[in-house]
Structure 1
Amino acid sequence: MKFTDGFWMMRPGVTAKYATSVADASVADDRIVLHAPVKPVHRRGDTLNSPLLTVECWSPAEGVIGVRTTHHAGKARRGPEFGLPGATDGGGGKTSRDGSVLELASGGLTLRVDTSAPWRLDFTADGRTLTSAGARGTGFATDADDRHFMVAQLSLGVGELVYGLGERFTPFVKNGQTVDIWQADGGTISEQAYKNVPFHLTNRGYGVFVNHPGKVSYEVGSEVVDQVQFSVEDQSLEYFVVHGSTPKEILARYTALTGRPALPPAWSFGLWLSTSFTTSYDEATVSHFVQGMADRGIPLSVFHFDCFWMREYQWSDFTWDAEVFPDPEGMLARLKERGLRVSAWINPYIAQKSALFAEGMREGFLVMRPNGDVWQWDLWQPGMALVDFTNPAARAWYAEKLRALLRQGVDVFKTDFGERIPVDVVWHDGSDPERMHNYYAQLYNQVVFDLLREERGEGEAVLFARSATAGGQQFPVHWGGDCESTFTAMADSLRGGLSLGLSGFGFWSHDIGGFEGTPDPALFKRWVQFGLLSSHSRLHGSKSYRVPWEFGEEAVTVTRDFTRLKNRLMPYLFRAASQARDEGTPMMRAMVLEFPDDPACHHLDRQYMLGDDVLVAPVLSADGEVEYYVPAGTWTHLLTGERVQGPGWRRETHGFDTLPLLARPGSVVPFGAFEEAPEYDWADGVTLRVHAPADGGATVTAVPAPDGSTAAVFRVGRTGDTVTVEALGERPPPAPWSVLLVGADVTDGVEGAVSAERTALGVLLACAAGTGRVTARWS
């Protein structure tokens, strides 16, 4: 929200007060409490008839410093509150005093306050100032309607860029934007967002998390061009500055504080096929789609039933439409016999025609208006109400309805909607409606995720969720929402996904082909490539089917080839997934996350790193032309073996069988031996693709198992023109394994291999099972 009218004046009706100095300070071992007047105090009389702000500073975790500014402390604290599972008492913060200078240090981050100087909070690391709250950095404002806002400003340095704030489809770099953290069902072509996260990071070594679940209004270098301003309508404002020497370290600390994602099951990384949103379908349609994929050799992992598996006008009642699905248990069993998992669409709304409406109303499980009526409207479903997830009994009731579906054979739920949450209501637990608007998505997804974990076991729970806020990354997977079937919408979706990744979310998907409308064959084929080089991959639309043969035989070929490629990449992809779980690093990474010291990467939003070592540049044009940037070093095309030298920009034209897909210099990318499904023994027959190893360098590569453990470990090193690959003893491969020296050309002088042969990509060395060493010349 903007309060000023240019530099000198305030907007009509607005009055603002800012901390001017420190009146007094109390210092404990682990925290500092400051009292700040909002006008200069020259004599005792100046302390009268004027506000005094209380500013508390502490550390909830290493490398993180919190600041809480309060005007009137008597306001009742009504929930909800963000969960902070990584916060600890003390957090490792340590205070010190040197004359008038107070410091609070945590990890490499220090907050410095000079109590004898005008008001200023300096956050420093490694001898330099990261950001500061200066003359207008701490305060409050009231408007003509007597609304009260707490306001903070943190400085931006020269060249400093801001990222994150959730899944946003506006420009990737947020400088110059006004952003409201407020859940909305606005599609992917507006400033509204399904996933709003009050966390941003910059390219200057820190991020900021505003610990407020309600509406947080940001002016990112917009109202004041050298400041990030954020405000809340409240009497208190709390934020955390998160330090990191790299963007990855910032995300690691932020996700440690707010929660790391669970590891999705291996099968969820395969191809999902949907009935689409409002299409007409029955079991015969489903069987036709599944058989059609099998007949064409396209591996399928999950079949998804959308919307009309339930009867019209009755969403949600969690009852199969008996007219089109007379034998749901038998149908689900038949799908399971084909090796498929089953997903079902749900939402948190209860239509008036649903039998659950009367039950929920009778038991008090539905959200109420202040006058005691059930809250209802006719948007989406006639007379629909909303499940009150603040009520433990309502949570249990909703979960039991879903449990029956799980026991029928459903494996995963698409938790759709959850954004249009009213504020003119009363919640069971007394929560503040404004704070609950965004937070509702957290309760909704957690109820479903916890049920899946309970019924299916740890490591088997996975959602396909649309709405989320801070902490929602704990309940993967999320998808990008309702996009159009255009190349620009494809680029919009990617931009939103990269923004979400920089907001702490490790797993993300999107509707292959676009949701609204029907893609032409060229768009469909390009989106298939992008979709199958994403964390999770789903064919889905609105009013038309997304089976590949609807778009021509070449679309079938592209879908088959890239699905098989993704299945072979599973040992590499699951390792990246484990990094998301363990370190908070997203699978799909904006280039700035992986190359923060390369200024050319700071604005890139049409390409990304998939895991540590694979660069993906989706083709976003009908003619196949793509422009992308290659960081420094000798990169190798994963499909063709072509060497690509960076740094520099490239413009290429690609057929539908390829796209820019480059392996990082010196990388070792494990390829599995099986391409028909994502879940198999990835170490059995694994091939290590070795790309341009540096002389004197060494890489240790772990091949995971589908349960998240380590199945095999290899060490690859190079000295001069000799490459050595070792299967290490603590995790020997259980079957013969191979090494592909991509781009190499010499087969003589090989030691330790069963065989060596030249291929189109390089020299392939076959090795025996178990521990062993193979050496070969590199040229």
Structure 2
Amino acid sequence: MKFTNGFWLNREGYDIHHPKSVRDVKVSDNDVTLYAPCKEIEHRGDTLNIPLITIRLSSPEKDTIRVQAYHHKGTSGRKPDFQVEDLSPDVEILNNDKEVVMKSGQLRVKILKEQFEMRFYDGDKELTHSNQKGLAWIKGPQNESYMRSQLNLGVGENLYGLGERFTPFIKNGQVVDTWNKDGGTSSEQSYKNVPFYMSNKGYGVFVNHPENVSFEIGSEAVSKSQFSVRGEELDYYIVNGSSPKQVLSNYTNLTGKPELPPAWSFGLWLTTSFTTDYDEETVTHFVDGMAERDIPLSVFHFDCFWMKEFEWSNFEWDRDSFPDPEGMLRRLKEKGLKICVWINPYISQKSKLFDEAVKHGYLIKRSNGDVWQWDMWQAGMGIVDFTNPDACSWFSGKLKSLLDMGVDSFKTDFGERIPTDVVYFDESDPERMHNYYAYTYNQVVFNLLKEQRGTNEAVLFARSSTAGGQKFPVHWGGDCDATYDSMAESLRGGLSLTMSGFGYWSHDIGGFENTATADLFKRWTAFGLMSSHSRLHGRASYRVPWHYDEESVEVTRHFARLKNRLMPYLYNASIENHSSGVPVMRPMILEFPEDYSCHVLDRQYMLGDSILVAPIFNEQGLASYYLPKGRWTHLLSGKVVSGGKWKEEQYDYMSLPLYVREGSILALGSISDFPDYEYEKNIRFYAYEFMNGKKSKATVSNKNGEVAGSLSFQKTDNKIRVKSDMNGNDYSLVLYNIGSVSSVSSGNWRITEEGVEIEPNPSDNEFQIVL
């Protein structure tokens, strides 16, 4: 929101009050409170009839400083609040005549007293600052109040994140309102608004407000990042870290680490699509068609019309289309499939559950006690009130019946269009609940799955979210169009989301709206199956590959099988995400912050820490991508190229830029038919471009997330020392571009088209390769 009229003037009707100086300071062991009047104080009379800003500084975790600023503190206490951890680490506080300094880890904030100013440092390096006019209480033309902060944007500084945003990846110059909306992928609106951004200078800012936060990113004041909220208080965190990955790790320490999804969820999902006609015969035809064409399929998803029209949600199968749902699910599961069904938190008036929900007070109400209803989406629909514990239990009970029937997962659709002219059971503030509703909705469903299916077996396919929602994976990108433009904007949204603390992201392969050409479908399939999660889904047409052309079948089979073989590597990246918060699918800047060319890249990404993926976005099959410095090996062809420059090449549909960085040990499984197998059995390690002195290690976990083995390398001159901890499991390894081998001290070796292949003795924990 803009409050000024150019650099010199305020907008008409807005009075902006800034702290002029620090008049008093109160220090305790772990926090410090400052009192800053919005007027120069020359004598006692100046202390009358003026606003005073109260500022509290604290540290919830090492390398993080929280800033709470109040105009009128007595108006605080509105709920809900984001669930934010507070570990209260040791801090250092200095208070003298000129300044107040608080230090937490390497992060330090300095507040100048005489002319109010806040400066944030990583050690001695300044990260950002808020000058005397940066922090403000603002009175609007209708006597409404706002709190605002401005943080300096340095020369060359870029900001990223703020949730799943389909606008340009770098947020500079944008106005962003964090208000969840159902706006598709082709607008500035977002299904997943997260008031957290990251800077390429090595810090993040989390604005701790569930309601709408208005960001002006170098837009109102071109050298400032500005955020404001309506009300009398402002609460934000500066999050530091030794690297962008560490910043994300520290941020997710605050708001929660993603749970570990089940291994089966990484396989290919196929849906009935949205408005298509289908019954068990149709579903079986699709499932059998995938098997007949040797395309591995892991999950079948039933979209909206598994329930009868006008009755969403009643959580009952439409018996006209599915007369024997129990038997159908059993028959599908006998084919090795997991089952997902579409749900939402809306109860239509025709649903048999509506009167039951009204009777017990389970729906959101208007201020006069009436149930809030409208006709958008479902006729006469009401919305489940998840602030009511009994409503949560009631909703979970309906879903449990489906789990008992054989359903394994839920697509938690919608949750964005949540009204504010309502009253909640627990008296939550409707403005703060608008975005937070998505958190409560997904939390209820995810917790049920975790309770019923067990740890590491719960997974959603969620559309709406906000800060903290990363704890309930996975999320997909909503309604995209069947165009290359929409494919690119979808990727921008996913990269922005993963820069906001989310570990996993998916999208509708081929686009949701309209029907892709065969060309677009094949390119999007390669992209989709090289994403963390992969789903074939659309609106009005079936998304089975043979409906496009026969080559689409080959492309889908090829990349689905490749992804399944990559599962030991991908699942280990998933385990890392669960412990560190570093996403599986990550922007280039997150992996290569020292390479300034990577700061702007939004058409390629890293899948884990070793594999670079650059989807193709045109009918010509022309790939334009950037490889950071070093030696890179194409995963499919084995071609080795030098990085530090842009590449432009033609690719057929069976390939795309898919490169492994030097020094990597990539663990590939022995099974391509499905994603959840014993990764530690008969695994093959691929070692890429080892330089002298280079150490590297690959860890293998089983599908329950437990470490099952590891292999580490170190190259010195003409020798490679290998340490194995594979617990007696058979394995092999392939050395790329290693030169000639003269001897291997364990097992057998031979030269193949891929490189030097070695089959060590499983009992040998250490051996040597002489080049």
TM-score by length of 2: 0.99
Whole-Å Cα distance in 2 between the matches of residues 220 and 136 of structure 1?
16
C-alpha displacement at 1:331, in angstroms?
0.5
- Which residue does the alignment assign to 1:432? 429
Whole-Å Cα distance in 1 between the matches of residues 426 and 352 of structure 2?
25
C-alpha displacement at 1:745, in angstroms?
5.2
1:299 aligns with 2:296: yes
Whole-Å Cα distance in 2 between the matches of residues 297 and 14 of structure 1?
66
- Contact 2:34–2:56 (Cα < 8 Å) also in 1: yes
Whole-Å Cα distance in 2 between the matches of residues 763 and 769 of structure 1?
18
- 1:768 aligned partner, one-letter code: N
- 2:727 aligned partner, one-letter code: P
- 1:4 aligned partner, one-letter code: T
Whole-Å Cα distance in 2 between the matches of residues 142 and 515 of structure 1?
44
Whole-Å Cα distance in 2 between the matches of residues 437 and 498 of structure 1?
24
C-alpha displacement at 1:129, in angstroms?
1.3
- Which residue does the alignment assign to 2:43? 43
- 1:764 aligned partner, one-letter code: E
- Which residue does the alignment assign to 1:595? 592
1:87 aligns with 2:112: no
- Contact 1:668–1:689 (Cα < 8 Å) also in 2: yes
- 1:3 aligned partner, one-letter code: F
- Which residue does the alignment assign to 2:760? 767
Which SS does the other structure have where 1:652 is aligned?
A: strand
C-alpha displacement at 1:276, in angstroms?
0.5
Whole-Å Cα distance in 2 between the matches of residues 742 and 253 of structure 1?
36
Q: Which residue, out of 207, 211, 232, partners 1:235?
A: 232
- Which residue does the alignment assign to 1:7? 7
Which SS does the other structure have where 1:478 is aligned?
A: coil
1:30 aligns with 2:30: yes
- 1:413 aligned partner, one-letter code: F
Q: How many percent of aligned residue pairs carry the same amino acid? A: 52
- Which residue does the alignment assign to 1:113? 111
- 2:344 aligned partner, one-letter code: N
Q: Which residue, out of 745, 751, 768, partners 2:745?
A: 751
Gaps of 5+ in 2: none
Deviations 1:93-134 (A, max 9, x none): 22122443221111100111222x201011111212111111
Which SS does the other structure have where 2:60 is aligned?
A: strand
- 2:389 aligned partner, one-letter code: P
1:489 aligns with 2:486: yes
- Which residue does the alignment assign to 2:631? 634
Whole-Å Cα distance in 2 between the matches of residues 743 and 293 of structure 1?
37
Whole-Å Cα distance in 1 between the matches of residues 485 and 412 of structure 2?
26
1:286 aligns with 2:279: no
C-alpha displacement at 1:383, in angstroms?
0.4
Runs of 4+ that moved beyond 6 A: none
Whole-Å Cα distance in 2 between the matches of residues 604 and 126 of structure 1?
29
Whole-Å Cα distance in 2 between the matches of residues 467 and 733 of structure 1?
45
Deviations 1:406-451 (A, max 9, x none): 0000000000000000000001100110000010000000000000
1:732 aligns with 2:727: yes
- Which residue does the alignment assign to 2:63? 63
Change (3 A) 1:681 1:139: same
- 1:95 aligned partner, one-letter code: I
- Contact 1:711–1:733 (Cα < 8 Å) also in 2: no
- 2:6 aligned partner, one-letter code: G
- Contact 1:261–1:475 (Cα < 8 Å) also in 2: yes
Which SS does the other structure have where 2:95 is aligned?
A: strand
- 1:626 aligned partner, one-letter code: A
Whole-Å Cα distance in 1 between the matches of residues 48 and 327 of structure 2?
77
1:127 aligns with 2:124: yes
Whole-Å Cα distance in 2 between the matches of residues 771 and 777 of structure 1?
17
C-alpha displacement at 1:175, in angstroms?
0.5
- Which residue does the alignment assign to 1:103? 101
Whole-Å Cα distance in 1 between the matches of residues 765 and 233 of structure 2?
62
- Which residue does the alignment assign to 2:138? 141
1:552 aligns with 2:545: no
Which SS does the other structure have where 2:365 is aligned?
A: coil
- Contact 1:530–1:618 (Cα < 8 Å) also in 2: yes
Whole-Å Cα distance in 2 between the matches of residues 43 and 76 of structure 1?
31
Change (3 A) 1:93 1:539: same
- Which residue does the alignment assign to 2:215? 218
- 2:736 aligned partner, one-letter code: V
- Contact 1:732–1:771 (Cα < 8 Å) also in 2: no
- Contact 1:747–1:756 (Cα < 8 Å) also in 2: no
Deviations 1:4-23 (A, max 9, x none): 00001111211111111111
Which SS does the other structure have where 2:74 is aligned?
A: coil
- Contact 2:76–2:233 (Cα < 8 Å) also in 1: no
Q: Which residue, out of 648, 652, 666, partners 1:651?
A: 648
- Contact 2:341–2:411 (Cα < 8 Å) also in 1: yes
Worse overlay, 34-43 or 94-103: 94-103
Aligned positions, number: 771
- Which residue does the alignment assign to 1:75? 75
Change (3 A) 1:76 1:106: closer
Deviations 1:56-85 (A, max 9, x none): 11111111100101011221522100001x
- Contact 1:275–1:540 (Cα < 8 Å) also in 2: yes
Q: Which residue, out of 662, 674, 678, partners 1:677?
A: 674
C-alpha displacement at 1:732, in angstroms?
2.1
- Contact 1:30–1:104 (Cα < 8 Å) also in 2: no
- 2:101 aligned partner, one-letter code: E
C-alpha displacement at 1:747, in angstroms?
5.1
Worse overlay, 665-674 or 43-52: 43-52
Whole-Å Cα distance in 1 between the matches of residues 189 and 418 of structure 2?
14
Whole-Å Cα distance in 2 between the matches of residues 66 and 357 of structure 1?
44
- 2:764 aligned partner, one-letter code: T
Change (3 A) 1:764 1:295: same
- 2:86 aligned partner, one-letter code: A
C-alpha displacement at 1:723, in angstroms?
2.8
Whole-Å Cα distance in 2 between the matches of residues 252 and 276 of structure 1?
36
Aligned-residue Cα RMSD (Å) equals: 1.1
- Contact 1:747–1:758 (Cα < 8 Å) also in 2: no
Structure 1 residues 340-739: aligned runs within 5 Å: 340-728=337-725, 731-734=726-729, 736-739=730-733
Whole-Å Cα distance in 2 between the matches of residues 498 and 516 of structure 1?
21
- Contact 2:474–2:504 (Cα < 8 Å) also in 1: yes
Q: Which residue, out of 253, 256, 263, partners 1:256?
A: 253
Which SS does the other structure have where 1:60 is aligned?
A: coil
- Which residue does the alignment assign to 1:17? 17
Whole-Å Cα distance in 2 between the matches of residues 195 and 7 of structure 1?
33
Whole-Å Cα distance in 1 between the matches of residues 619 and 761 of structure 2?
46
- 2:283 aligned partner, one-letter code: V
Which SS does the other structure have where 2:318 is aligned?
A: coil
- Contact 1:713–1:732 (Cα < 8 Å) also in 2: no
- 1:103 aligned partner, one-letter code: V
Whole-Å Cα distance in 2 between the matches of residues 770 and 56 of structure 1?
60
- Contact 2:463–2:476 (Cα < 8 Å) also in 1: yes
- Contact 2:749–2:756 (Cα < 8 Å) also in 1: no
Whole-Å Cα distance in 1 between the matches of residues 173 and 477 of structure 2?
24
Whole-Å Cα distance in 1 between the matches of residues 8 and 99 of structure 2?
31
Which SS does the other structure have where 2:73 is aligned?
A: coil
- Contact 1:641–1:743 (Cα < 8 Å) also in 2: no
C-alpha displacement at 1:756, in angstroms?
1.6
- Which residue does the alignment assign to 2:330? 333
Change (3 A) 1:329 1:548: same
Worse overlay, 122-131 or 90-99: 90-99
Gaps of 5+ in 1: none
Which SS does the other structure have where 2:176 is aligned?
A: strand
Which SS does the other structure have where 2:643 is aligned?
A: strand
Which SS does the other structure have where 1:738 is aligned?
A: strand
- 1:252 aligned partner, one-letter code: S
